[in-house]
Amino acid sequence: MYKIAVIPGDGVGPEVVNEGIKVLDALVEPYSMDFDFTYYPNGAEHYLKTGETLSREQLDEMEEMSAIYFGAIGDPRVKPGILEKGVLLRIRSHFDQYVNLRPIISFPGLICPLRDKTFEDVQFYVVRENTEDFYVGLGARTDKKKDEHKLRFKKYNIKFDIEIELDDEKEIAYQIGLISREGAERIIRYAFELAKKKNRKKVTSIDKANVMSDIYGLWREVFDEIASEKENSGISTERQFVDNAAMQFVKDPKQYEVIVVPNMFGDILTDLGASIQGSIGIASGGNINPDGISMFEPIHGSAPDIAGKGIANPLGAILAAGMMLEELNECKASNAIQRAIKNVLFEGKVRTPDLGGRASTGGMGDAIIKELMKDDEDRDI
């Protein structure tokens, strides 16, 4: 029995999460699992009504759950950042979900936007550090000639006292990036372990140590140390600068097996990854605390432009449900989802508009369930 917190959120979030839940429910009997879903109303509507993004009590309640299943958040009626920070980033940091795992894995029959490349060229994992770097919230703007800023970073008990003296009419803003040895170590170790688990032979580290040599110099040093450990001797390694990596994603994605990357560059590269996968609608991600409570979500947002039309692609949400099952050690059920999606896409009859078809969100979900019910080669019973 798994207790799952479900946060459908805004826009297409509830539409695609609904399909994911349908798929999970369909797996209950064949894979002898059980789910107890607790729904949370958090999102724009809830915020506009109550002024609350996410409460302490809700977080406490989630401490008792096996995992969190998340749709998408964001609404044109709410100032950008409030819900994203108040709900999504809050959960990630509260549960210390320091791994952002993003399969950049395409499927047969999907048209890869890279001419001359096929789905077989796009089969890698991005492991993005999810708690540090330029996203720690240390920064300020100033428009006074003389200013003093006190910035605090509680986690490591760091205080920055910044004194500013500017010429007339000048205005500046700054953001401080922070990487800890501990933070780099745990994510890089995760990437090497993932490579072993997924039977991959190479880990590529991406940074910008040539320009930001302090912050990414430390990252690189830790990467080299872990790469040279005896237990990782079977895995080859490469280091790339992020600008080159952006080019390589498009030019030669096949070179990648597992990528490990700091937070900000990871954010950008995983969107690029989603697009070479075939559609943002099929991309899924995990916010993982390997020793704690993890959260799984499609990587797209609330897509207000198509919300309510019943045409959003639910495959990203369904694959996220599959990642959740894998983290819960239900590997057979998780593989069955992968296989069903592969078969349905390859057959090509049922596709949502983003993949060039005419199927509805629900029609796509139903097709996956129908395929799952056929598939019994790999079951426990």
Binding site for ligand NAI (CB under 6 A): 12, 16, 72-74, 80, 84, 88, 280-281, 297, 300-306, 312-313, 316, 354
Quick one: what does residue 354 bind among Mg ion, ligand NAI, none, with the CB cut-off 5 to 8 Å set by partner type? ligand NAI
Backbone angles phi, psi at 341, to 5 degrees: -65, -40
Maximum pairwise Cα distance, the chain: 76
Nearer to ligand NAI, 104 or 222 (CB): 104
Given CA atoms 308, 310, 313, 318 in this order, what sign does their dihedral have? positive
C-beta separation of 170 from 141 below 8 A: no
Decide if 197 is catalytic.
Answer: no
Nearer to ligand NAI, 19 or 330 (CB): 19
DSSP secondary structure code for residue 11 in this structure: T
In the complex, the smallest distance separating the C-beta of residue 376 from ligand NAI, rounded to whole angstroms, is: 29
75: nearest Cα among 86, 59, 64, 66 = 86
Decide if 267 is catalytic.
Answer: yes
Q: Left (φ > 0), alpha (ψ -120 to 50) or beta: where does 236 sit?
A: beta
- Give the rounded distance of the alpha carbon of 138 from its chain centre: 23
Quick one: what does residue 14 bind among Mg ion, ligand NAI, none, with the CB cut-off 5 to 8 Å set by partner type? none
User: Residues in contact with Mg ion, total (CB under 5 A)?
Assistant: 1
In the complex, the smallest distance separating the C-beta of residue 312 from Mg ion, rounded to whole angstroms, is: 17
What pairs with residue 297 in β-bridges? 285
Residue for token pair 């006292």? 161
Decide if 271 is catalytic.
Answer: yes
In the complex, the smallest distance separating the C-beta of residue 205 from ligand NAI, rounded to whole angstroms, is: 25
Which of these is catalytic: 243, 252, 376, 378?
Answer: 243
186: nearest Cα among 279, 268, 290, 95 = 290
Nearer to Mg ion, 96 or 267 (CB): 267
Nearer to ligand NAI, 222 or 306 (CB): 306
Distance CA 270, CA 124 (A): 11
Distance CA 356, CA 358 (A): 7
Decide if 208 is catalytic.
Answer: yes
- Give the strand pairing for 158-165 and 123-129: unpaired
Nearer to ligand NAI, 259 or 320 (CB): 320
The contact mask relative to Mg ion for 236-275 (x = CB under 5 A, - = no) is: -------------------------------x--------
Which of these is catalytic: 96, 147, 271, 375?
Answer: 271
In the complex, the smallest distance separating the C-beta of residue 69 from Mg ion, rounded to whole angstroms, is: 19
In the complex, the smallest distance separating the C-beta of residue 301 from Mg ion, rounded to whole angstroms, is: 8
Distance CA 130, CA 381 (A): 38
The residue ranges that bind Mg ion (CB under 5 A) are 267
Residues annotated as catalytic (active site), given as ranges: 135, 208, 243, 267, 271
